């Protein structure tokens, strides 16, 4: 039996792949927490997501423990 994720973390959410994945998951009713430091990602890629119910943006770096600690209650299986 597989468990449907209800809240996921997408790193690099402002990149091409991350933003498209986030859009698709939100359409399927999954809550998305996106983490991006915008070193190569673009704010335009997630413009349509910023007011979406179920989308939270963390502006930060996955290598920064404090930024990563903001990602809470993420489904891991």
pLDDT per residue as tens digits for the range 12-54: 999 999 999 999 999 999 999 999 999 999 999 999 998 999 9
Residue 37, in any domain of the structure: yes
Residue 30, in any domain of the structure: yes
Nearest to 49 by CA among 73, 19, 71, 29: 19
DSSP secondary structure code for residue 44 in this structure: G
Residue 74, in any domain of the structure: no
* Domain, as residue range, for 33: 7-68
Task: Count how many domains the chain has.
Answer: 1
Query: What is the pTM (predicted TM-score) of this model?
Result: 0.86
Provide the CATH number for the domain around residue 48.
Answer: 3.40.50.720
Cβ neighbours, 10 Å, residue 75: 13
Q: Which helix (H) or strand (E) holds 28?
A: none
Cα–Cα dist 71/39, whole Å: 19
Residue 73, in any domain of the structure: no
């Amino acid at each position: 039996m597989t468990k449907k994720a209800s809240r996921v973390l997408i790193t690099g959410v402002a990149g091409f792949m991350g933003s498209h994945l986030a859009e698709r998951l939100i359409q399927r009713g999954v809550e998305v927490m996106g983490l991006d430091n915008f070193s190569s990602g673009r704010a335009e890629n997630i413009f349509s997501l910023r007011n979406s119910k179920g989308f939270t943006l963390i502006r930060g770096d996955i290598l920064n423990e404090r930024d990563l600690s903001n990602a809470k209650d993420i489904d891991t299986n």
